[in-house]
Chains A and B, each alone.
Chain A
Amino acid sequence: MRIRSSHADNCGPTSLSRMEQNSNMSDLFSIDVNGRQVEVAEGTSVAAAIMATHQACRLSVRGEPRAPLCGMGICMECRATVDGKPHRRTCQLLCVPGMEVVTE
């Protein structure tokens, strides 16, 4: 699974155009999401990395899978365990190399 922000030039600012991407591979690094390596660009939030793996972040009170809703630290649906700390708001947390993320 790779997440590489290489959208066209009119997109989100953390993404890189193709040309930038080719000359800027050092911006990519890996984090671990539920035991799988996910390659991300610098500036990627943990929530975006989890979504790219098509996994839910948490299970609700009744056990329903939930994924990010608001993207801005309000709804708390993106909570996951990061580097052993539970209930981290992953949409407000940037990926760093070697980070370990565990979802429910």
Chain B
Amino acid sequence: MNSAFDVVVVGAGPGGIAAAAVAAEAGARVCLLDDNGQPGGQIWRGYRSETAPKYPHGREFLKWTSRLHRTDCDIWSGWRATDQPAAHCLRLESDEETRDIQFRSLVVATGARERFLPFPGWTLPGVTGAGGLQALVKSGLDPRGKRVVVAGTGPLLLAIAAGLAGAGAEILGIYEQAPRSRLLTFGLSLAALPQKLIEGAGYRRKTLRAPYRTNCWITRAEGSTRLESVTVTNGRRQWTLACEWLACGFHLVPNLELPRLLGCRIADGYVSVDALQQSSIAAVACIGELTGIGGMDKALLEGQIAGLAAVGRQSAADALASRLIPMQRFARKLDRAFALRDELKTLAAPDTVVCRCEDTDYSELMECSSWREAKLHTRCGMGACQGRVCGAATEFLFGWQHSGVRPPVFPSSVSTVAAKADLPDAIPLS
């Protein structure tokens, strides 16, 4: 089975939906694909049109999904892009089958994941990402009555905590590793920040009575078979909190595997793009978190620009591009404001697992001098997640750079990897 489209969009978060909608509105044949069960990405995960207005950013969800559904755009949920078997072609895999899909223009909108850092006990069941726990609750997990500590860094911690509290969790505290002074330096007025972020995310202040503490971070998690307590420090003293869940994430890192596979130029951790979101590779645009962690508004705007550019509406795309500049500046500012403190490099003990797929300990990695050497000698990064978790951790802990990716970019069946490129020769592609 194969298919050919004018525009293929990989990733159905806000940016991908906007790109697909504007391209399809212009009459292009568009396919929007995503590995989740339904469109929406992380921010709109699980949203349904009947109830969306009650949830944060629900109005934007309604606006963009109704625009999308008025078009003839193909929406393929449950598909992962694993390889590029030929030019202008992606190999896709679902749980059932393999397909090759052709495109004239590609928009990559694969979003971001949380950065995780190892500390003693971080592999215990009950320790999740901060966005991770939010995603699980959006997927039906009931947090009522659970004592939750929220920790790590980034502008999302407060919104996540407010969401969990609104869903019935007992939030014991929110521990932000960034110092208060740095948040202030970057114009993120702390007096306004929590309130603004909570309201910005659509939550009422009263749902969140837990303390928000800057300059504090997790040093360990403990429990026999699952999480029972976490220890927090402010650098001077430590204290322990009994809890069922720890939601801990250290800001976001872009999902660069597909852009890297395609050969897109990457600088300072993000895909380099021009004013119309075009990467260094012809006919490949990258948008949203791939070009800077800036959230939904930036993704929606970049998606529209890339979608318009993909159908040749350059002047309409140009007209939107100037609005991006402050959003891109804000994204860089967030990265600096929530930069990781050096103390976080010292949390892992010699026997703390760093690579969760292969159970590689910190002590084994200390003997290695590069990511490549670690992979060869310890199997770090060689497991099912392909270094998506330990890669960002070891980059911070050891300064290792991870450059190349090899197909398939997601674990795939042997039949998917072995299949010959399945291209229709009846449809000429430029």
- Chain A interfacial positions (CB closer than 8 Å to B): 3-15, 40-41, 43-45, 47-49, 51-52, 54, 56, 60-62, 64-77, 79, 85, 87-88, 91-95
Instruction: Mark contacts of B98-115 with chain A using CB atoms, 8 A cut-off: 1 yes-contact digit, 0 otherwise.
Output: 000000000000000110
Cβ-based interface call for B170 (8 A): no
Does B136 lie within 8 Å of A45, measured CB to CB?
Answer: yes
CB distance from B16 to the nearest CB of A (A): 15
CA distance A24 to B330 in the complex (A): 43
Among B37, B55, B129, B359, the residue within 8 A (CB) of A60 is B359
Question: Across the interface, which residues of B come within 8 angstroms of A49, CB to CB?
Answer: 140
Known: A13-B45, A13-B51, A62-B359. A71 touches B166 (CB 8 A): no
Known: A71-B134, A76-B384. A52 touches B141 (CB 8 A): yes
Among B114, B123, B140, the residue within 8 A (CB) of A43 is B140
Interface residue tally for chain B (C-beta within 8 Å): 61
- Nearest A residue to B78 via CB reads A92
Does B357 lie within 8 Å of A52, measured CB to CB?
Answer: no
Cβ-based interface call for B388 (8 A): yes
Does A13 lie within 8 Å of B55, measured CB to CB?
Answer: yes
Question: Across the interface, which residues of A come within 8 angstroms of B357, CB to CB?
Answer: 61, 76
Does A11 lie within 8 Å of B168, measured CB to CB?
Answer: yes
Among B51, B58, B144, B356, the residue within 8 A (CB) of A7 is B144
Known: A61-B358, A68-B128, A91-B135. A74 touches B166 (CB 8 A): no
Cβ-based interface call for B407 (8 A): no
Question: Across the interface, which residues of A come within 8 angstroms of B58, CB to CB?
Answer: 13
Known: A61-B358, A74-B388. A7 touches B142 (CB 8 A): yes
CB distance from A28 to the nearest CB of B (A): 11
Does A41 lie within 8 Å of B132, measured CB to CB?
Answer: no
Does A74 lie within 8 Å of B389, measured CB to CB?
Answer: yes
Known: A12-B167, A60-B359, A72-B131. A48 touches B141 (CB 8 A): yes
- Chain B interfacial positions (CB closer than 8 Å to A): 35-37, 42, 45-48, 51-52, 54-55, 58, 78, 95, 113-114, 116, 123, 125-129, 131-144, 162-164, 166-168, 203-204, 207, 225-226, 255, 353, 356-359, 383-385, 388-389, 411
Known: A12-B167, A13-B52. A79 touches B113 (CB 8 A): no
Does B142 lie within 8 Å of A75, measured CB to CB?
Answer: no
Q: List 20 A-B contacts (CB under 8 A).
A: A10-B167, A10-B207, A11-B137, A12-B163, A12-B167, A13-B46, A13-B52, A43-B48, A45-B37, A54-B226, A61-B359, A66-B356, A71-B129, A72-B113, A76-B383, A76-B411, A87-B384, A91-B136, A92-B36, A93-B95
CA distance A43 to B359 in the complex (A): 33
Known: A7-B166, A64-B123. A72 touches B135 (CB 8 A): yes
CA distance A43 to B168 in the complex (A): 19
Q: Which 7 A-B pairs have the closest CB atoms?
A: A10-B166, A11-B167, A44-B140, A71-B135, A67-B125, A45-B139, A7-B167
- Nearest B residue to A2 via CB reads B142
Does B388 lie within 8 Å of A41, measured CB to CB?
Answer: no
- Nearest A residue to B388 via CB reads A74
CB distance from A8 to the nearest CB of B (A): 6
CA distance A47 to B144 in the complex (A): 17
Does B139 lie within 8 Å of A69, measured CB to CB?
Answer: no
Does A60 lie within 8 Å of B356, measured CB to CB?
Answer: yes
- Nearest B residue to A64 via CB reads B123
> Which of B36, B139, B166 has the most chain A CB atoms closer than 10 A to its own CB?
B139
CB distance from B74 to the nearest CB of A (A): 20
Known: A14-B138, A61-B358, A67-B126. A7 touches B132 (CB 8 A): no
Question: Across the interface, which residues of A come within 8 angstroms of B141, CB to CB?
Answer: 3, 12, 44, 47-48, 51-52
